[in-house]
Structure 1
């Protein structure tokens, strides 16, 4: 039997931070490196995934009225994965406010078949810059990633991988 498609709840960045991340995507692409820039689908936006699970997530989610905006700090680049290709991301500092938002989203979604790396204590908040970046290209890629950036998470959306649709929450 095929596994259930992933549904995720994603935190969108304020306009200035989104523009800064998109500029990093563009710089990587202009240098001939792996980047999220070529993915031109309207669903491809800089975001922080708060919850990812196999199967559905209830809609609507009952979250506190004051859940957003949440202050964020985009930090140093990180690499995920193994082998000669990695996922290049901007770290997001796991502040008390961000951890509280993630907990509120998890509580509102209830129990489910969460993706392993989303469990409390294992989640690493981040914004993806490139997938499948060659380790050999890392020296060229890192100077194209900006320094620390204070910003806000301003909206939530649901991504349904099964239907490839985005719904504002």
Structure 2
């Protein structure tokens, strides 16, 4: 778990939200609603959606997409369609997806977020460093169990009484509606 308490994290990200304005600042903010809309407009995720989705997901990555392993296509489709329906992913399923998409939990987390931004947050080295105050070594960053703990932390923060203060500030500074999961992850990413 993070080294700071929930209240300390909220105090810190409220400061971050107060001093930043993100409107029209980057292609990440420009492309974000389109990526979300892509999966929102597809009732059922197909292999075509997966290939297109992971490809645009990697436009947000510092590395290129080298492998998409679709041998387990039936499992992958089941997992991602369950994610879209709101069924929480299991650790074993995260391992399957990670192996499928460049063996990257970071890339997988971004795809999960684009499919269901209300229950999944983006996970990367900057988020890890913000929460744990240590170097994000790959062997730590790429652990599905840690990602699931992160999702639980986000849910716990959303349930805190002063979360709404942060969320309103963040939504205002972004300039369009985002999910609470996205607001928290973006604040962690920006850090202080």
Q: TM-score, normalised by structure 2?
A: 0.21
- Higher RCO structure (Cα 8 Å, ≥6 apart): 1
The structure richer in helix per residue is 2
The structure richer in strand per residue is 1
Q: TM-score, normalised by structure 1?
A: 0.23
